[in-house]
Amino acid sequence: MKGVAHQAQRHVTKSVALHSSTQSLPDCQAAFQRIAKRCVKLIRSQRKAAIAADPDAIHTMRIELTRLRSAVLFFSPMTDDEVWPKLNKELRWLNSALGKARDHDVTANYARRKRYRKWAKSSRQALLRAQRKVDRRLSNKLASARYERLTTTVNHWITDGPWLRADRSVRSERVDVYAQARLHAWRVMISREGRHLRILQRKQLHRLRIQCKRYRYVVAALRGLGVALARQDLKFVEIAKQVHGALGDLRDLKRLRRVAHGRPPGYRNSKKKLLLRAKKPFRHEP
């Protein structure tokens, strides 16, 4: 009897703990605001180092900017208001500057690899000049009043934007319930594209890479809030990670060819391998 009583008590304790953790989960409004505010905070914290052309700071700013825009898209039934399109246009301006600087950093690193070092020797000075040029442009933009206005306005929009005065049905929905349906929709969208990866054109491959990146970032943000996700959501993160990585490497390789005005050693074979690596995860997907 004692054993039965002990088991019953454990079951009650477990149920209470589960109920308590569920109750403590934020609704969609609070979840989005926490994610978005953290992104803006990290973007701002890296500003000085990015102005000094620190590659890690530039990379961090770009990642957090993508996380922010991914979160807005994920919660778009709630966040879609008349202000966001204007803000997003300004964020694209910032993302473009960060992206160009980051791309040149990556290309320069590629050119220094043992495999490409000799081949890229004649282009190295041109690559370095281009890198310094985009770094200066980024520094000017990050030091501008436009950048300061943008981050301040985004922060205000997160805290008190028009989206907060819209229908409360989504805003008050429990984030784990909302996330389950939304992540499923994103998985279906990615899988549909991924199964036809071998025939996708450049823009379609780019879109698929971005979709995988967004999925990864949103899942990481939700887990950071303590949201318990379904096994298939977490399993799909690995697929998204592999595809994102392979297509990102393919993009970097193509950029190296374009910037250095010629095919790097083993270009065709490397391109083929990367496409196969991106396609592989979808073969075993249910």
Q: What is the pLDDT of residue 286?
A: 53
What residue type is assigned to position 208 of the chain? L
What is the model's pLDDT at position 168?
85
> What's the pTM value of the predicted model, to 2 decimals?
0.87
Please report the pLDDT score of residue 208 as a whole number.
96
pLDDT in tens, the chain (286 residues): 445 444 444 443 343 333 334 457 789 999 999 999 999 999 999 999 999 999 999 999 999 999 999 999 999 999 999 999 999 999 999 999 999 999 999 888 888 888 888 888 888 888 888 899 999 999 999 999 999 999 999 999 999 999 999 888 899 999 999 999 999 999 999 999 999 998 999 999 999 999 999 999 999 999 999 999 999 999 999 999 999 999 999 999 998 888 888 889 999 999 999 999 999 998 866 5
